[in-house]
Amino acid sequence: MATIGSRLKRDGKFAQRAAHWRERLDEVERQEAELRLGGGEKRLAEHRAKGKMTARERVAALCDEGSELLELGLWVAHGFYEEHGGAPAAGVVTGLGTIHGRDVVVVANDATVKAGAWFPLTCKKVLRAQEIALENRLPVVYLVDSAGVFLPMQDEIFPDKEHFGRAFYNNARLSAAGVFQMAAIMGPCVAGGAYLPIMSDEAHIVEGTGSIFLAGAHLVKAAIGEEVANEELGGALVQCDVSGVVDHRHPDDASCLAKIRAQFAQLGAPARAPFARRPPREPAHDVEELAGIMPVDRARPYDSREIIARLVDGSELEEYKATYGETLVCGTGWIEGWAVGIVANQRSIVARRTGTGRADKELQIGGVIYSESADKGARFVELCNQKRIPLLFIQDVTGFMVGSRAEHGGIIKDGAKMVNAVANSVVPKITLFTGNSYGAGNYAMCGKAYGARFLYAWPSASIAVMGGDQSANTLLSIQLKNRGEDVGEDEKRELLARIKKRYDDAMDPRYAAARLWVDAIIDPADTRKVVARSLAAAACNPEIAEFKTGVLQT
């Protein structure tokens, strides 16, 4: 493999770019620290006063000492439910943890946020965690401490296909697929929520704080007139010793989590996918330099190989068709010893080539997918599926090329060919949003709708149907046309500024993460580690289906 040479200059412009994105990352990390406080310091203190660990303390005690939780969905519900006081992290902690060196999916209710009640986005977040477990055949541990559905919004969470009941449906499907699920009842577990731990393969309960019943004391009295305390109705002694609903009971949170850890040590070793693996090597170029590569101005060019050179082992890439379809960089390499195929949008400006091989006068627009780029990308995805090589998509794309020349050249059929190949890909796909992700380019480069196992964003990412300037001007034109009256220039500028701000806010990666379009916002310097962790998790599913595509126009 060829080592990627770097032309990155660590000059004043590099320092300015690095400082800009470091400032943005610092802002993100400060906000994430606040999100991790859940309901706030006062609620955390009240929770501990009941003799209970907090959700994050429980997760830390469950996982191997010194290991790091790859938290997924931290930003979910950010900016939502403000009329109800908000729901930081949607009131639940989810992510990839490690128990005795084995990757597991952890789902822990945060009872400091509305008593752990489920909001609509809480449901979506839990379903995403279960999806990750099922796709990657990872065991699940549910740490349950929840008041159930948030009743003021019950109509938005209860009956539909992707609502509350789908979690229990997934319980059944995971168990049938042989994916082990363990539950710990560490607080209230009420009504329909009672099914989640009991439909798991094995369940634990904590004495004094854990309880599980289909109807609490108040509802029992209202329904049948019986007066009974919650502990007598469905506490640990009742549900473990009398009803036999729960398998194990424990005096406190710590002993419960220690027992779960001991049981996980006995789990049989999983079968692994046949992905190539070799000893890892560090890149030849410093990963800390990643923050200084991305331009602040999204229209400015840069070489995506500079990013790849700081992600792959030895900075080595076996590039595929390097001189063809040059707005897409494709190639195979290794990331911490895992074989990987990389598809990256190229933002440097290079001359298009004619059929004679001579450079054309027209320059390619950075980040745009041309017909030849789409053709190259589709074939490379097909090759990686044939070779059983997982795929990493690095998105900084403004869409497919438009205009008469592109249309006459068949850009739609070539774009459809790439989208078809990506949609039908059977090897694990991981998507990294580094810059723009606009329009159909989001689809072709494996956005959320295209089945990526994991999706991550840098603070520099931007996801939208089109760029802010184009969108704002389009929306302004529509508004002015609908008004059907003369509008002064000052009012036009004010309208445009207001529209652009609203659109720019929606393009922020935090907006995308709040809606689970991406699983996490990450430090560029951590990308290699996060991608490698994701590849290792994906390798826990040994089943790879036969690769087939639909009907393609050629």
pLDDT digits (tens, 9 = 90+) for 301-339: 999 999 999 999 999 999 999 999 999 999 999 999 999
Per-residue pLDDT, averaged over 26-40, amounts to 98
pLDDT band at 36 (very low <50, low <70, confident <90, very high): very high
Answer whether 544's CB lies under 8 Å from 426's CB. yes
What pLDDT was estimated at residue 362? 47
By CB atoms closer than 10 A (0-12, 13-18, 19+), residue 328 is buried
Per-residue pLDDT, averaged over 11-29, amounts to 97
Q: Is 359 left (phi over 0), alpha (psi -120 to 50) or beta?
A: beta
pLDDT band at 401 (very low <50, low <70, confident <90, very high): confident
Q: List the Cα angle 112/118/120 in 5-degree steps.
A: 130
Alpha carbon of 253 to those of 183, 416, 516, 520: distances in Å?
Answer: 13, 53, 30, 28
Collapsing DSSP states into helix, strand and coil, what is residue 213?
Answer: strand
pLDDT band at 267 (very low <50, low <70, confident <90, very high): very high
Which of residues 73 and 469 earns the better pLDDT score?
A: 73
pLDDT band at 161 (very low <50, low <70, confident <90, very high): confident
Average of per-residue pLDDT values in the chain: 91
* Residue that is written with structure tokens 């207001």 in the block: 498
What is the C-alpha separation between 138 and 101, in angstroms, rounded? Answer: 13
* Residue that is written with structure tokens 């089945």 in the block: 451
Answer whether 379's CB lies under 8 Å from 414's CB. no
pLDDT digits (tens, 9 = 90+) for 163-204: 889 999 999 999 999 999 999 999 998 877 788 999 999 999
What pLDDT was estimated at residue 480? 65
pLDDT digits (tens, 9 = 90+) for 103-149: 999 999 999 999 999 999 999 999 999 999 999 999 999 999 998 88
What pLDDT was estimated at residue 1? 79
Answer whether 116's CB lies under 8 Å from 187's CB. yes
Tokens representing 103 are 């990757």
What pLDDT was estimated at residue 481? 65
**Would you say residue 217 has pLDDT above 90?**
no
pLDDT digits (tens, 9 = 90+) for 84-96: 999 999 999 999 9
Per-residue pLDDT, averaged over 420-442, amounts to 96
Per-residue pLDDT, averaged over 261-279, amounts to 96
Answer whether 323's CB lies under 8 Å from 364's CB. no
**Would you say residue 408 has pLDDT above 90?**
no
Task: With CA atoms as reference, report the closest residue to 186 among 235, 227, 150.
Answer: 235
pLDDT band at 361 (very low <50, low <70, confident <90, very high): very low
What pLDDT was estimated at residue 352? 54
What pLDDT was estimated at residue 466? 63
Task: With CA atoms as reference, report the closest residue to 194 among 178, 210, 207, 179.
Answer: 210
Find how far residue 344's CA is from the centre of its chain: 19
pLDDT band at 219 (very low <50, low <70, confident <90, very high): confident
Answer whether 550's CB lies under 8 Å from 425's CB. no
What pLDDT was estimated at residue 420? 96
Collapsing DSSP states into helix, strand and coil, what is residue 431?
Answer: strand
**Would you say residue 474 has pLDDT above 90?**
no
Beta-carbon-side half-sphere exposure of residue 148 (alpha carbons within 13 Å): 19
Answer whether 43's CB lies under 8 Å from 112's CB. yes
Task: With CA atoms as reference, report the closest residue to 310 among 286, 329, 331.
Answer: 286
Per-residue pLDDT, averaged over 351-357, amounts to 53
**Would you say residue 503 has pLDDT above 90?**
no
In 3-state terms, the chain is what percent helix, strand and coil (to 5)?
A: 45, 20, 35
